Structure 1
Amino acid sequence: MTKVFISYSHDSDAHREFVRGISDRLRKEGLDCLIDLYVNGFPPEGWQRWMENQIEAADFVLLVCTETYLRRYRGQETDGGRGVTFEGVVISQTLYDHYYRNTKFIPLIPAHGSLEHVPLTLKPYSTYCLPSDYDKLYRVLTGQAEYIAPPLGKSVLCQRRMDTRQPPSTPTASPPSKAVSSDAPPNCNASPTHGQTPPPASSNSSLPAAQAKPNCCATGSTTPPTFRC
């Protein structure tokens, strides 16, 4: 059976009844919860040893954190509250001995409380606000997770996405265009088209003398030719 011990400060009668209500409900719902109010008179081993034994034997220790509890936990109050001061030493030392790997100590705050009242060594862990978070707390104490991870299935083979993009084409250089020389001589023998003036005849100096044709287009001759071109 799961054992639970509640560490709290006697702030007021109303606060004591609040703590007792938590303990009573936990006991009714199957958890062996203990508080000092259940002890008739005093324990035979004395309060100090009783507190130390309860903290050591419990599976969970609930700390009801208030402003008064924090002061006494840290030993900052010399007028009463020695029980919480002693429990604070035992709890801090237990955490220290276990390198602050905590599965045992659970901070609680009342509905009107504040997270600033949680001891520094317990701030890294979850804090429950009662009575609103009672169901969440009960799940932790009884090992009943609200959500259970589903069993692992087999891995699924995913389809690969093909790259349909075409690689960029390499631009090809166009062949250089042949430039037409403006120095080419006009072709005198070409037949002119309708409405065009025939170009002037070029010199036939490059032909052999026997094959040279008379230049009918030449100017400057005083004797008209006796043949037609």
Structure 2
Amino acid sequence: MPRVFVSYTHDSEEHKDAVLHLAHALSANGVSVCLDRWHLERQDWYTWAVREIESADFVVVVASARYRTVTDGYGTPTENLGLQCEAAILREKLQSERPLWTRKILPVLLPGRGIGDIPLVFQPNSVNHYPIADYTTDGMEDLLRVIHGKPAYERPLPGTPPPLPPRTVTLPTPHAVELPTPHPTVINTITGGEVHGNIIQAGGNVTQN
């Protein structure tokens, strides 16, 4: 059973309830979910977050305007301390092992949320994100397929190569080229400044007249 850590911020009671609804829906679809609201004992929440994030197969980041503000570093130092902790851990993971944690961090958009709620550090426009239409299996299909490793389409196995013999190319027959008949050339021979006669050269024969 895949294990998922849910990272979110306590924007409002309504948002917290929506995240709780998501967590229950994931659990109902065969996912082991780690959510802070299910751990009420007093503990060091920083070490808890480090331990749970590192042991999770995926981290579901529930995007919201507040989540983006805090994660991208625009929040105040005294607000949302729990999220600041989780965001710092996730940034460190991306920095140290980007290919692995790009695959493991799954930004999720609950109903009514938009791509602008995803923090820039999670690359909202150049990496996949997962809108939730509703909390049914169909409404979470894309997210569930990633978590369970069940793609909607599978690459078929290569078949047998078809016979592809070389093609026969017929070249055109070259045409005979007729050479022009050479014209006679009259050459005056001069010996000692006098013209002794004309030499006619034609067809390779030289005659003198």
User: Which range, TM-score by smaller chain?
Assistant: 0.7 to 0.9
Higher relative contact order (CA 8 A, sep 6+): 2
Structure 1's unaligned 5+ residue stretches are 177-229
Instruction: State the partner residue of 2:149.
Output: 143
Instruction: State the partner residue of 1:129.
Output: 131
Q: 1:63 to 1:174 in 2, by over 3 A?
A: same
**Aligned residue identity for 1:45:** Q
Instruction: State the partner residue of 1:67.
Output: 65
Instruction: State the partner residue of 2:202.
Output: none
Give the SS at the match of 1:149.
coil
Task: State the distance in 1 between where 2:42 and 2:11 align.
Answer: 25
Contact 1:74 1:85 in 2 (8 A): no
Instruction: State the partner residue of 1:82.
Output: 81
Task: State the distance in 2 between where 1:112 and 1:143 align.
Answer: 27
Contact 2:72 2:120 in 1 (8 A): no
Structure with the larger helix share: 2
Give the SS at the match of 1:106.
strand
**Aligned residue identity for 2:30:** G
Structure with the larger strand share: 2
- TM-score calculated relative to the size of structure 2: 0.74
Give the SS at the match of 2:4.
strand
Structure 2's unaligned 5+ residue stretches are 183-209
Instruction: State the partner residue of 1:158.
Output: 164
Task: State the distance in 1 between where 2:145 and 2:57 align.
Answer: 14
What RMSD, in angstroms, separates the aligned Cα atoms of the two structures?
A: 2.3
Give the SS at the match of 1:48.
helix
Task: State the distance in 2 between where 1:136 and 1:170 align.
Answer: 72
Contact 1:110 1:131 in 2 (8 A): yes
Instruction: State the partner residue of 2:25.
Output: 25
Instruction: State the partner residue of 2:112.
Output: 112
% same residue: 25
Give the SS at the match of 2:61.
strand
- TM-score calculated relative to the size of structure 1: 0.68
Q: Aligned pair count?
A: 175
Contact 2:58 2:104 in 1 (8 A): yes
Residues 38-94 of structure 1: CA deviation (Å, up to 9, x unaligned): 123xx3432222222211111100101111101111332225211111111000101
Which one of 49, 52, 55 corresponds to residue 54 of structure 1?
A: 52
Instruction: State the partner residue of 1:11.
Output: 11
